[in-house]
Homo-oligomer: A and B are copies of this chain.
Amino acid sequence: MSRVVALCGGIGGAKLALGLAQVVAPERLTVIVNTGDDFRHLGLHVSPDLDTVTYTLAGRANPETGWGRADETWRFMAALGELGGETWFSLGDTDLATNVHRTVRLAAGDRLTEISRAVAAALGVRVDVIPATDDPLATVVETDDGPLPFQRYFVERRCAPRLTGLRYEGAEAARPTPETVAALTDAALGAVILCPSNPYLSIDPMLAIPGFRDLLAATRAPKVAVSPIVGGAAVKGPLAKIMAEKGVEPSPAAVAAHYGDLLDVFVVDEADADAPVVGARKLVAPTVMRSLADRVALARVVLDAAGLDAAGLDAAGPR
Protein backbone atom coordinates (compact mmCIF):
# COMPACT_ATOMS: atom_id res chain seq x y z
CA MET A 1 0.00 0.00 0.00
CA SER A 2 1.66 3.19 -1.13
CA ARG A 3 2.44 6.21 0.97
CA VAL A 4 2.52 9.80 -0.22
CA VAL A 5 4.67 12.70 0.90
CA ALA A 6 3.78 16.30 0.03
CA LEU A 7 6.20 19.18 0.45
CA CYS A 8 4.64 22.58 0.87
CA GLY A 9 4.71 26.09 2.19
CA GLY A 10 1.62 27.98 3.21
CA ILE A 11 -1.49 29.05 1.41
CA GLY A 12 -0.98 27.77 -2.16
CA GLY A 13 0.64 24.54 -1.13
CA ALA A 14 -1.97 23.91 1.54
CA LYS A 15 -4.66 23.89 -1.14
CA LEU A 16 -3.14 20.87 -2.83
CA ALA A 17 -2.39 19.27 0.53
CA LEU A 18 -6.09 19.53 1.28
CA GLY A 19 -6.90 17.93 -2.07
CA LEU A 20 -4.49 15.09 -1.32
CA ALA A 21 -6.07 14.63 2.08
CA GLN A 22 -9.41 14.04 0.40
CA VAL A 23 -7.98 11.26 -1.78
CA VAL A 24 -5.26 9.59 0.28
CA ALA A 25 -6.08 7.84 3.54
CA PRO A 26 -4.69 9.97 6.39
CA GLU A 27 -2.33 7.29 7.69
CA ARG A 28 -0.70 7.20 4.25
CA LEU A 29 -0.15 10.95 3.82
CA THR A 30 2.68 13.00 5.30
CA VAL A 31 2.86 16.73 4.67
CA ILE A 32 6.35 18.11 5.25
CA VAL A 33 6.13 21.83 5.80
CA ASN A 34 8.53 24.73 5.37
CA THR A 35 9.71 26.45 8.55
CA GLY A 36 11.83 29.13 6.87
CA ASP A 37 8.96 31.55 7.53
CA ASP A 38 9.05 30.86 11.26
CA PHE A 39 10.06 33.72 13.47
CA ARG A 40 10.03 34.99 16.99
CA HIS A 41 7.45 37.70 17.45
CA LEU A 42 6.02 39.18 20.64
CA GLY A 43 8.06 36.55 22.44
CA LEU A 44 6.22 33.79 20.58
CA HIS A 45 7.46 31.15 18.18
CA VAL A 46 5.31 31.75 15.12
CA SER A 47 5.16 29.01 12.47
CA PRO A 48 2.93 30.46 9.75
CA ASP A 49 3.18 27.62 7.23
CA LEU A 50 2.70 24.80 9.72
CA ASP A 51 -0.36 26.55 11.09
CA THR A 52 -1.79 27.35 7.68
CA VAL A 53 -1.50 23.72 6.59
CA THR A 54 -2.92 22.44 9.88
CA TYR A 55 -5.83 24.88 9.91
CA THR A 56 -6.53 24.11 6.24
CA LEU A 57 -6.58 20.36 6.81
CA ALA A 58 -8.72 20.88 9.91
CA GLY A 59 -11.26 22.89 7.96
CA ARG A 60 -10.45 25.76 10.30
CA ALA A 61 -8.62 28.09 7.93
CA ASN A 62 -9.93 31.54 7.22
CA PRO A 63 -11.46 31.05 3.77
CA GLU A 64 -10.97 34.69 2.85
CA THR A 65 -7.30 35.13 3.66
CA GLY A 66 -6.01 31.55 3.40
CA TRP A 67 -3.98 32.16 6.57
CA GLY A 68 -5.20 32.35 10.13
CA ARG A 69 -8.34 30.79 11.49
CA ALA A 70 -11.96 30.91 10.50
CA ASP A 71 -14.34 32.87 12.74
CA GLU A 72 -11.36 34.70 14.14
CA THR A 73 -11.55 37.75 16.39
CA TRP A 74 -8.91 40.43 16.83
CA ARG A 75 -9.43 41.83 20.29
CA PHE A 76 -5.90 40.97 21.42
CA MET A 77 -4.36 42.89 18.51
CA ALA A 78 -6.60 45.88 19.10
CA ALA A 79 -5.70 45.95 22.79
CA LEU A 80 -2.01 45.54 21.98
CA GLY A 81 -2.21 48.41 19.54
CA GLU A 82 -3.78 50.60 22.20
CA LEU A 83 -0.74 49.92 24.40
CA GLY A 84 1.65 50.81 21.59
CA GLY A 85 2.67 47.23 20.85
CA GLU A 86 3.65 45.89 17.44
CA THR A 87 0.64 45.21 15.27
CA TRP A 88 2.17 44.78 11.81
CA PHE A 89 1.85 41.00 12.07
CA SER A 90 -1.72 39.96 12.70
CA LEU A 91 -2.37 37.31 15.31
CA GLY A 92 -6.02 36.53 15.93
CA ASP A 93 -7.30 35.65 19.37
CA THR A 94 -7.61 31.92 18.63
CA ASP A 95 -4.53 31.71 16.39
CA LEU A 96 -2.63 33.27 19.29
CA ALA A 97 -3.43 30.22 21.37
CA THR A 98 -1.59 27.99 18.90
CA ASN A 99 1.44 30.26 19.06
CA VAL A 100 1.44 30.53 22.84
CA HIS A 101 0.98 26.78 23.20
CA ARG A 102 3.84 26.06 20.79
CA THR A 103 6.12 28.53 22.57
CA VAL A 104 5.35 27.08 25.99
CA ARG A 105 6.02 23.54 24.80
CA LEU A 106 9.21 24.49 22.96
CA ALA A 107 10.43 26.20 26.13
CA ALA A 108 9.64 22.97 27.99
CA GLY A 109 11.96 21.11 25.62
CA ASP A 110 9.44 19.50 23.28
CA ARG A 111 10.34 19.26 19.61
CA LEU A 112 8.48 21.29 17.01
CA THR A 113 7.50 18.01 15.36
CA GLU A 114 5.84 16.67 18.49
CA ILE A 115 4.08 19.94 19.10
CA SER A 116 2.85 20.25 15.51
CA ARG A 117 1.49 16.72 15.63
CA ALA A 118 -0.27 17.39 18.91
CA VAL A 119 -1.82 20.61 17.63
CA ALA A 120 -3.00 18.90 14.47
CA ALA A 121 -4.44 16.01 16.46
CA ALA A 122 -6.22 18.39 18.83
CA LEU A 123 -7.83 20.10 15.84
CA GLY A 124 -8.93 16.77 14.41
CA VAL A 125 -6.31 16.46 11.65
CA ARG A 126 -5.33 12.83 11.07
CA VAL A 127 -2.85 13.52 8.26
CA ASP A 128 0.73 13.73 9.53
CA VAL A 129 1.79 17.39 9.35
CA ILE A 130 5.44 17.86 10.30
CA PRO A 131 8.22 20.38 9.84
CA ALA A 132 11.17 19.39 7.67
CA THR A 133 13.47 20.18 10.58
CA ASP A 134 13.18 20.88 14.29
CA ASP A 135 16.25 23.09 14.10
CA PRO A 136 16.28 26.88 13.70
CA LEU A 137 15.93 27.89 10.06
CA ALA A 138 15.14 31.42 8.98
CA THR A 139 14.73 32.74 5.49
CA VAL A 140 16.40 36.12 5.14
CA VAL A 141 15.62 38.23 2.10
CA GLU A 142 18.51 40.35 0.88
CA THR A 143 17.03 43.51 -0.59
CA ASP A 144 18.16 46.88 -1.78
CA ASP A 145 16.96 48.07 1.63
CA GLY A 146 19.32 45.61 3.29
CA PRO A 147 18.63 42.13 4.68
CA LEU A 148 15.12 41.58 5.98
CA PRO A 149 13.83 38.68 8.08
CA PHE A 150 11.23 36.96 5.97
CA GLN A 151 8.09 38.22 7.68
CA ARG A 152 9.41 41.77 7.73
CA TYR A 153 9.84 41.49 3.97
CA PHE A 154 6.64 39.58 3.32
CA VAL A 155 4.12 41.09 5.73
CA GLU A 156 5.47 44.38 7.00
CA ARG A 157 7.02 45.54 3.72
CA ARG A 158 4.54 43.64 1.50
CA CYS A 159 7.44 42.36 -0.66
CA ALA A 160 8.02 45.91 -1.91
CA PRO A 161 11.83 46.03 -1.57
CA ARG A 162 13.72 44.65 -4.55
CA LEU A 163 15.10 41.21 -3.76
CA THR A 164 18.81 40.81 -4.41
CA GLY A 165 19.34 37.44 -2.75
CA LEU A 166 18.07 34.86 -0.31
CA ARG A 167 19.70 33.18 2.65
CA TYR A 168 18.40 30.34 4.77
CA GLU A 169 19.97 31.09 8.11
CA GLY A 170 20.74 28.07 10.18
CA ALA A 171 20.18 25.69 7.29
CA GLU A 172 23.79 24.42 7.27
CA ALA A 173 23.47 23.28 10.88
CA ALA A 174 19.92 21.99 10.55
CA ARG A 175 19.08 18.33 10.16
CA PRO A 176 15.99 16.72 8.70
CA THR A 177 13.87 15.31 11.51
CA PRO A 178 13.83 11.54 12.06
CA GLU A 179 10.17 11.68 11.00
CA THR A 180 11.08 13.41 7.73
CA VAL A 181 13.81 10.88 7.05
CA ALA A 182 11.43 8.03 7.83
CA ALA A 183 8.76 9.41 5.51
CA LEU A 184 11.16 9.92 2.63
CA THR A 185 12.90 6.55 3.04
CA ASP A 186 9.74 4.52 3.61
CA ALA A 187 9.85 1.44 1.34
CA ALA A 188 6.19 2.02 0.55
CA LEU A 189 6.72 5.62 -0.58
CA GLY A 190 4.87 5.93 -3.87
CA ALA A 191 4.99 9.63 -4.64
CA VAL A 192 6.59 12.87 -3.51
CA ILE A 193 4.45 15.84 -4.43
CA LEU A 194 6.01 19.30 -4.54
CA CYS A 195 2.96 21.49 -4.05
CA PRO A 196 2.58 24.71 -6.06
CA SER A 197 4.39 26.68 -3.38
CA ASN A 198 6.99 29.36 -3.94
CA PRO A 199 10.18 27.45 -4.82
CA TYR A 200 12.49 30.11 -3.36
CA LEU A 201 10.54 30.82 -0.18
CA SER A 202 8.79 27.55 0.61
CA ILE A 203 10.67 24.66 -0.98
CA ASP A 204 14.27 25.87 -1.13
CA PRO A 205 14.53 26.37 2.65
CA MET A 206 13.85 22.63 2.98
CA LEU A 207 16.23 21.76 0.14
CA ALA A 208 18.90 23.83 1.91
CA ILE A 209 18.89 21.45 4.87
CA PRO A 210 21.93 19.19 4.39
CA GLY A 211 20.75 15.74 3.37
CA PHE A 212 17.22 16.75 2.45
CA ARG A 213 17.83 17.00 -1.28
CA ASP A 214 19.71 13.71 -1.15
CA LEU A 215 16.71 12.06 0.46
CA LEU A 216 14.57 13.23 -2.46
CA ALA A 217 17.19 12.12 -4.98
CA ALA A 218 17.50 8.71 -3.37
CA THR A 219 13.86 7.73 -3.31
CA ARG A 220 12.58 5.71 -6.21
CA ALA A 221 9.15 7.25 -5.74
CA PRO A 222 8.26 9.63 -8.57
CA LYS A 223 8.64 13.29 -7.72
CA VAL A 224 5.85 15.40 -9.13
CA ALA A 225 5.81 19.19 -8.91
CA VAL A 226 2.99 21.57 -9.78
CA SER A 227 3.96 24.88 -11.32
CA PRO A 228 3.15 27.85 -9.10
CA ILE A 229 3.44 30.04 -12.19
CA VAL A 230 0.43 30.11 -14.50
CA GLY A 231 0.35 32.23 -17.62
CA GLY A 232 3.45 34.17 -16.60
CA ALA A 233 2.09 35.20 -13.22
CA ALA A 234 2.14 33.71 -9.76
CA VAL A 235 -1.18 32.27 -8.69
CA LYS A 236 -0.58 34.00 -5.36
CA GLY A 237 2.23 35.89 -3.70
CA PRO A 238 5.44 37.53 -4.81
CA LEU A 239 6.92 34.71 -6.89
CA ALA A 240 6.71 36.42 -10.30
CA LYS A 241 8.16 39.61 -8.87
CA ILE A 242 10.98 37.70 -7.19
CA MET A 243 11.80 35.78 -10.39
CA ALA A 244 11.91 39.01 -12.37
CA GLU A 245 14.20 40.54 -9.75
CA LYS A 246 16.44 37.48 -10.00
CA GLY A 247 16.62 38.08 -13.77
CA VAL A 248 14.54 35.00 -14.51
CA GLU A 249 11.47 35.14 -16.70
CA PRO A 250 8.47 34.12 -14.59
CA SER A 251 7.51 30.96 -16.43
CA PRO A 252 6.80 27.33 -15.65
CA ALA A 253 9.92 26.43 -17.62
CA ALA A 254 12.05 28.55 -15.31
CA VAL A 255 10.53 26.90 -12.22
CA ALA A 256 11.18 23.46 -13.69
CA ALA A 257 14.75 24.49 -14.51
CA HIS A 258 15.16 25.74 -10.94
CA TYR A 259 14.35 22.29 -9.59
CA GLY A 260 16.90 20.82 -12.04
CA ASP A 261 17.13 17.06 -12.04
CA LEU A 262 15.01 16.69 -8.92
CA LEU A 263 11.71 16.08 -10.69
CA ASP A 264 10.15 13.25 -12.64
CA VAL A 265 6.99 15.08 -13.63
CA PHE A 266 6.25 18.78 -13.84
CA VAL A 267 2.59 19.75 -14.05
CA VAL A 268 1.83 22.96 -15.90
CA ASP A 269 -1.50 24.63 -16.29
CA GLU A 270 -3.51 24.39 -19.47
CA ALA A 271 -2.67 28.03 -20.02
CA ASP A 272 0.97 26.95 -20.34
CA ALA A 273 0.43 23.87 -22.53
CA ASP A 274 3.24 25.00 -24.81
CA ALA A 275 5.74 25.72 -22.03
CA PRO A 276 9.13 24.15 -22.81
CA VAL A 277 9.90 21.98 -19.79
CA VAL A 278 13.35 20.42 -19.60
CA GLY A 279 14.50 17.73 -17.21
CA ALA A 280 11.08 16.35 -16.29
CA ARG A 281 8.10 14.96 -18.06
CA LYS A 282 5.62 17.75 -18.70
CA LEU A 283 2.01 17.14 -17.84
CA VAL A 284 -0.72 19.62 -18.72
CA ALA A 285 -3.71 19.91 -16.41
CA PRO A 286 -5.93 22.51 -14.79
CA THR A 287 -3.87 23.69 -11.80
CA VAL A 288 -5.75 26.73 -10.53
CA MET A 289 -7.61 25.57 -7.43
CA ARG A 290 -10.66 27.65 -6.73
CA SER A 291 -13.00 25.03 -5.31
CA LEU A 292 -12.52 21.95 -3.20
CA ALA A 293 -13.34 19.93 -6.33
CA ASP A 294 -10.41 21.65 -8.08
CA ARG A 295 -8.12 20.65 -5.23
CA VAL A 296 -9.28 17.05 -5.35
CA ALA A 297 -9.00 16.92 -9.14
CA LEU A 298 -5.43 18.22 -9.06
CA ALA A 299 -4.57 15.74 -6.32
CA ARG A 300 -5.80 12.93 -8.55
CA VAL A 301 -3.73 14.32 -11.43
CA VAL A 302 -0.49 14.37 -9.46
CA LEU A 303 -1.07 10.93 -7.93
CA ASP A 304 -1.91 9.54 -11.33
CA ALA A 305 1.25 11.18 -12.72
CA ALA A 306 3.21 9.29 -10.07
CA GLY A 307 1.63 6.08 -11.27
CA LEU A 308 -0.55 5.70 -8.22
CA ASP A 309 -4.13 4.58 -8.50
CA ALA A 310 -6.12 6.86 -6.29
CA ALA A 311 -8.60 4.06 -5.69
CA GLY A 312 -5.77 2.00 -4.25
CA LEU A 313 -4.93 4.67 -1.67
CA ASP A 314 -8.01 3.94 0.42
CA ALA A 315 -9.57 7.00 -1.06
CA ALA A 316 -12.47 8.28 0.91
CA GLY A 317 -13.35 10.28 -2.16
CA PRO A 318 -14.27 13.92 -2.20
CA ARG A 319 -16.18 14.95 0.86
Chain A interface (Cβ within 8 Å of chain B)? 42-44, 73, 75-80, 82-86, 93-98, 100-101, 103-104, 107, 118-119, 122-123
Contact = CB atoms under 8 A, between A and B. Distances in A.
Nearest to A72: B75
A101 B118 contact: no
Q: What are the nearest 5 A-B pairs in CB distance?
A: A79-B97, A79-B94, A80-B97, A75-B93, A93-B93
22 contacts: A42-B100, A43-B43, A43-B100, A73-B75, A76-B76, A76-B94, A78-B97, A79-B94, A79-B96, A79-B98, A80-B97, A80-B100, A80-B101, A83-B98, A83-B119, A83-B123, A84-B118, A85-B97, A85-B100, A85-B101, A86-B104, A96-B96
Nearest to A73: B75
A101 B96 CA distance: 14
A123 B123 CA distance: 36
A30 to B, nearest CB: 21
B43 A122 contact: no
A118 B82 CA distance: 11
Contacts of A101: 80, 83-85
A109 to B, nearest CB: 14
B85 A104 contact: yes
A122 B81 CA distance: 10
Contacts of A43: 43-44, 100, 103-104, 107
Given A43-B104, A73-B73, A97 B122 contact: no
**A contacts with B: majority SS:** helix
A299 to B, nearest CB: 28
A94 B74 CA distance: 9
Contact of A123 (B77, B82, B122): B82
Given A76-B97, A93-B93, A84 B42 contact: no
Given A77-B97, A83-B97, 17 more contacts: A42-B104, A43-B44, A75-B94, A76-B93, A76-B96, A76-B97, A78-B94, A79-B96, A80-B101, A82-B123, A83-B122, A83-B123, A84-B118, A84-B122, A85-B100, A86-B104, A96-B96
Nearest to A102: B83
A94 B75 CA distance: 6
Question: Of residues A77, A83, A94, A107, which shows the largest number of chain B Cβ atoms within 10 Å of its Cβ?
Answer: A83
A122 B82 contact: yes
A102 to B, nearest CB: 9
Nearest to A81: B97
B76 A118 contact: no
Contacts of A103: 43
Nearest to A85: B101
Contacts of A77: 97
Nearest to A87: B97
Contacts of A76: 76, 93-94, 96-97, 100
Contacts of A123: 82-83
